[in-house]
Every structure is written in C-alpha cells, then in structure tokens.
Amino acid sequence: MVSVPPLSRPPHLGHVSASPPRPIPLDRGSNPDPSLGDDSGLGLEIQTAGTISGEEITASPRRVHRLPAWLEIAKPRLIPLLLATTTAGMALTMAWPLDPLRLIATLGGGAMAAAAAGVLNCLWEEELDSRMQRTQQRAIPSGRLPRRRAFAIAVALTVASTLLLVIAVNPLAAALSLLGLCSYVLLYTALLKPRTSRNIVIGGVAGAIPPLVGVAAASGGMSWAGWWLFTLIMVWTPAHFWALALLLREDYRSVGIPMLPVVKGPAFTSEAIARYSAMTAAISTLGVIALPSGGWLYGLLLLPFNGRLLQLSQALRRDPEATQPARNLFRWSILYLFGICLLILLARLPQAVLFDPWQGDLARLLSGPPLP
C-alpha cells in the first residue's frame, strides 16, 4: 500500500479565517450619500466570503435594482411631497373635506404634471448629466431610453394632466398646474440654474405652486391662506436645497453650475441657510390665523418642528465644512414640510376646534367661499 502524506497549505497563503463577510463600498462618485438624490446608477456592494491573512479572497456583487427607465425619468421620489402640499392647500379652504372624486382627480393631475416636468428636466439636462459621474447613468444619457420616446412620454403626461384637471376639477387648477410645470422647466432649469447662484430663490416658485392648485381645486378661486403656504414653501426651499448643494458642490463645480456653495463657499451658504430657516420658522407660525379652524392646535404642534429646524441650521452654521450637519438638515427639511402638511390636516379635524378660543370667522372669510 502506498501511503499518501497529508496535504499541507502552501506557506504563502497563511491562515484561513472564518470571519463573517463584510461589505466593501464601491466608489459612488462625489455624492457622499446615495440616498440624497442619487437615483442614477446601479448600486453595488461587495460581499466577501472570507479572508486569508486579513485579505479578502472572494467577492460577489449584489445588485440594487434600478427603476424602469420610463419611471426613473419622471423622478417619482419628488412627487409625494408635491402632492402633500397640494392636499394641504385644499385643507386651507372651507370646502375641506373635499369630494373624493375631486380629490383623486386633483392629485392624479398633479402627479402627472410633476412627472412630465421631471421628464422634460431630464431631456434638457442630458448633456450636463452625461458629464457628471453622479448622473451619467441616468436613463437618457446612458442610452437606456431614447430621447424621442422620453419626449413622447412628457407630452402625453402633460396633455393627460391638463385634460383631467380641466374636466374633473376646474380650469384654474389646470392652468396653475401647467404654470408650475413651465416654471420648473423653463424658469429654473433652462434660465436660472446655469446662470445665477440665486437660482433656487426665484426658481423655487415651481415647487410652491401646488398649494395654489389645491386651493383652486377646492374653492374655485384663490385665498390668502393659499398664498401663505406658497410663501412658506418659497422661503423653505433655499435652506432645503442649499443643504443638499453643500453635499454635492464638487459635482456642481465640475460642470460649471453656479450653485451658492460653489460660488460663495460653505461658510457663506451656511449663514444663508440659517437666515432662511429662521424666516421659515417665523412664516410657519402664521398658519395659526391662516387655518379656517384648529389654528391653535397647529401652532402648538408646530413648536418642536421649528425648534429642530433652527437647531440643525445653527449646527451647520457652526461647522459649515462638515458633511453630517448638512446631511441632517437636508433630511429634516423634507420631514419638516411633510410635517407642516400633516399638522394642517390634523388641525382641520372636527376635534381640533376644541383648541380654538374663538370660531374662525376671520379665517373663514379670508379662506374664500366653498364651491357650490
């Protein structure tokens, strides 16, 4: 019998450990957090099967599935907040709660208009997106969706949105929705964004129009309460957007987009964010008298929202170069506006009038009459 000596491990491999797999993050470009607006590429994470002398020996990619190309260009992550502010606009009128069919038609038309604006934005910025590492894998610059098909989608969404709002709601709501679409694509994207560091201060009008659509859908007209929410969103937008721009300033710098952090630097931008945050907190308190009822409940519940907003803006002001304060403020600003909309809806519940020291006669007069 021939004896076979036991196999030995080659000395250069060292000891094989059974340590658990750990992820190796891939370079995702200059975006410090893929959740902050990077919906462009295919996320990959490496999972290692084991280590030899502390070094990974096997790896397998785990795919994070991206949205279909036709849905990706509609920027669906932006739509829920626009619909929330539209609903809040409806709740600011005496016609609230709305007929369910009118409510659904208004939100459906608004969602299609917002999607059309997103598609047109992607079409306009195709060349810019192709030069930014964070966006070059988006559907149009990567070639996953032909330009002609994307344009057809935008036209179809615009026509469908306008017809739905005209037929099922009213012409004023349809006109305002179309105005919001045009202001985003033409005023902000085409005119202001590539030319001035204050682009979002004026261009923010596009995101502030949905409450007016909601007021028009509910009452058939306009009211000062609707303009209050419009103004609040206009003032909220710069602080929200500049916090994100701080995180992505190198991306913007690389393609020559004059965002405020690129032109003036983080310290100046953080000061501007603090000012706009303070103005946002001040204007938000006017909801106490803007609401037809439940204003005192709204004002009471608003306090922690404003407290947190001011706290985070001051934290960023103290350390404008750090990414975490900017990231915290950006995320909270989104929750803040959702929270304002939620507080408006809660204030319009029948039980909320118990907190009012008076019946809202003045607010009812200023909010405008309901539709017959």
Instruction: Report CA torsion sign: 316, 318, 323, 325.
Output: negative
Q: Which two tokens stand for residue 103?
A: 């409510």
Q: Give the residues of the chain that fall short of pLDDT 70.
A: 1-65, 356-372
Measure the CA–CA gap between 146 and 161, rounded to whole angstroms.
23
Q: What is the dihedral of CA 238, 239, 243, 245, to 10 degrees?
A: 10
Q: Which two tokens stand for residue 146?
A: 């032909």
- Helix/strand/coil for 60: strand
Per CATH, the architecture of 73-367 is what?
Orthogonal Bundle (1.10)
How much is the pLDDT for 369? 54
The helix-helix angle for 224-247 and 79-91 (nearest 10°) equals 160
* Residue 15: exposure state from Cβ atoms within 10 A (0-12, 13-18, ≥19): exposed
How much is the pLDDT for 269? 96
Cis peptide before 11 (omega within 30 of 0): no
How much is the pLDDT for 304? 96
Measure the CA–CA gap between 133 and 299, rounded to whole angstroms.
44
Determine contact, residues 52/176, Cβ cutoff 8 Å: no
Show me where the domains of the chain are located.
73-367
Does the pTM surpass 0.85? The reply is: no
How much is the pLDDT for 16? 38
How much is the pLDDT for 357? 61
The helix-helix angle for 171-182 and 100-124 (nearest 10°) equals 20
How much is the pLDDT for 237? 96
* Contacts of residue 110, Cβ cutoff 8 Å, sequence gap at least 6: 82, 83, 86, 161, 177, 210, 213
DSSP β-bridge partners for residue 313 = none
DSSP β-bridge partners for residue 44 = 63
- Helix/strand/coil for 18: coil
- Which pLDDT tens digit goes with each residue over 270-280? 999 999 999 99
